[in-house]
Amino acid sequence: MRFGAHVRAGTTLLPAIDRAEEIGADVVQVFTQSPRAWKPRLYDAQTLAAYRDAVDRHPDGLPTYCHATYLINLASDDPERFGLSRSCLDANLSVARAIGARGLVLHAGSHLGAGFEARLSQVADTLVAALDATGDDPATAAACPILIENTAGAGGTVGRSLDELARMLEAAGDRPDVGICLDTQHMWAAGIAYGSLEEADALVRAVDRTIGLDRLGCLHVNDSGVDFGAHRDRHANIGEGTIGEHALGCLLGHPRLQDLPAILEVPGSGQGAGADDVAALRRAHELGLALRG
């Protein structure tokens, strides 16, 4: 398992690599533009190539994941909002491909009361259209899947359960370039248990049965600022929330998850995850391995 965090990338993306070294991360996640604005950040070819080269020179490499803009809502019934969402997804995916990212993590959006079934085909069709826009290098495009992230279950968000995630992948054709990202805080808030070894084992079996572990591209590891089943998205530093190190360890130590990257999205001391937070993540993993003997 590789451990890291969401970090700031600045206007050249290269600060992400410097920050990874500062905090002891061996995997990073970045935004390719402001997460709360529609306008994409434009990078020239030299900037994108410089990031790829820096990753290639990094000891043991530095797997990079991108997170799509929060405003994207592929389930929207508003033509303007949906059009902006499609364009923004295309822009985010283009940059992710260009820097050699291992995946683009996506919040698929909210049906806003229309119902999951009513918006399923629209979401799936938009994913397929974005992925099929391969640009000049189809090989690079194929290497960067879209990873749909589970949600905490608030409002009409889509992807709140393993079943909804599985249905979206199926509707998109069960293609290998659409996978999932599981967030520990979102699962906890959605009422998905993994606080004991038995519960963690049952969860991993359920993921394999409904989706397939081969479709699980990465883990977001966050403690929770709300109680189990609260259906709210509130991240906390490892060991400072309602999940705790033990429960996280039960999941992180599962033998079938050891090839995955574990990425923090925590507040840290106010500027995002720091070295202490990455160390806490590693401790939770070590605890989980010890619990399993």
d(CA 107, CA 181): 10
Provide the 8-state DSSP code for 110: B
CA proximity to 140, closest of 91, 98, 83: 98
Kindly state the average pLDDT of the residues 170-184. Answer: 96
How many whole angstroms separate alpha carbon 252 and alpha carbon 211? Answer: 19
Residue ranges per domain, the chain?
2-291
Supply angle C-alpha 114, 119, 124, rounded to 5.
165
- Token readout for 173 is 């054709």
- Model confidence band, residue 186 (pLDDT cutoffs 50, 70, 90): very high
**Mean pLDDT across the chain:** 95
Q: What is the maximum alpha-carbon separation in the chain? A: 54
Tens digits of per-residue pLDDT, 114-167? 999 999 999 999 999 999 986 666 666 668 999 999 999 998 999 999 999 999
Measured CA to CA, the distance from residue 27 to residue 145 in angstroms comes to 17
Q: pTM value?
A: 0.96
3-state secondary structure 49-65: HHHHHHHHHCCCCCCEE
- 60 pLDDT band (50/70/90 cuts)? confident
Residue 203: φ, ψ to 5°: -65, -45
Backbone angles phi, psi at 164, to 5 degrees: -65, -40
At 84-95, the pLDDT tens digits run 999 999 999 999
pLDDT band at 178 (very low <50, low <70, confident <90, very high): very high
Residue type for 139, please? A
Average pLDDT over residues 241-246: 98
Angstrom distances, CA of residue 172 to CA of 106, 124, 131, 152: 14, 5, 10, 22
Q: So what's the pLDDT on residue 138?
A: 65
> What's the CATH superfamily of 2-291?
Divalent-metal-dependent TIM barrel enzymes (3.20.20.150)
pLDDT tens digits along 35-48 = 989 999 999 999 99
Q: What angle do CA 33, 39, 40 make, to 5 degrees?
A: 45
pLDDT band at 59 (very low <50, low <70, confident <90, very high): confident
pLDDT at 133: 86
